[in-house]
């Protein structure tokens, strides 16, 4: 898991072949103007999901993980207090992994909470679980989904 400001995004470009494309998209797109929903960038290998939603409480938020995609969650407005815990430390699954939706939920409690204000982001890898959208206010964010096995061409 990585937490940083968007001003430092280039530091992480080498971690995955498609990360440079994500950071270029962020730099060259007015993300505030994107409609809610899915926006294709490179087919199923790289896409963005724009969310404008009311925040929820820590008690309602569940840890989740993904196996096929890495998440880069960039907050635009509001503060998303995201929970985090290593997948290897999660022992209370809600159900089995759903490959079609690339998600699994857990009853486990986050090990830590990250206050993620505007212009900051978290990168969650398959070995991370996260509980997003925790806030007392509305949250506007973009979640970039990067296929783990994708290669830039």
| Digitized pLDDT (tens) for each residue of the chain, 153 residues in all | 999 999 999 999 999 999 999 999 999 999 999 999 999 999 999 999 999 999 999 999 999 999 999 999 999 999 999 999 999 999 999 999 999 999 999 999 999 999 999 999 999 999 999 999 999 999 999 999 999 998 866
User: Domain ranges in the chain?
Assistant: 2-117+127-141
Q: Residue 153: its pLDDT value, please?
A: 61
Nearest-5° angle of CA 110, CA 115, CA 116?
Answer: 115
Domain 2-117+127-141 grouped into CATH 3.40.50.620: no
DSSP string, 17-73: TTHHHHHHHHHHS-GGGSPSEEEEEETBTEEEEEEEEE-B-TTT--EEE-SSEEEEE
């Amino acid at each position: 898991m990585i937490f940083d400001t968007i001003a430092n995004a280039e530091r992480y470009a080498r971690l995955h072949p498609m990360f440079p494309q994500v950071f270029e998209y962020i730099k060259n797109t007015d993300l505030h103007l994107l409609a809610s929903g899915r926006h294709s960038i490179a087919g199923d290998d790289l896409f963005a999901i724009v969310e404008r939603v009311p925040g929820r409480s820590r008690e309602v938020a569940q840890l989740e993980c993904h196996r096929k995609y890495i998440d880069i969650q960039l907050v635009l407005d509001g503060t998303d207090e995201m929970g985090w815990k290593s997948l290897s430390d999660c022992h209370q699954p809600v159900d089995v992994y759903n490959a079609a939706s690339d998600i699994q939920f857990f009853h486990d409690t986050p090990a830590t909470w990250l206050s993620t204000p505007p212009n900051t982001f978290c990168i969650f890898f398959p070995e991370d679980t996260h509980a997003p959208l925790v806030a007392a206010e509305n949250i506007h964010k973009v979640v970039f989904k990067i296929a783990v096995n994708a290669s830039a061409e």
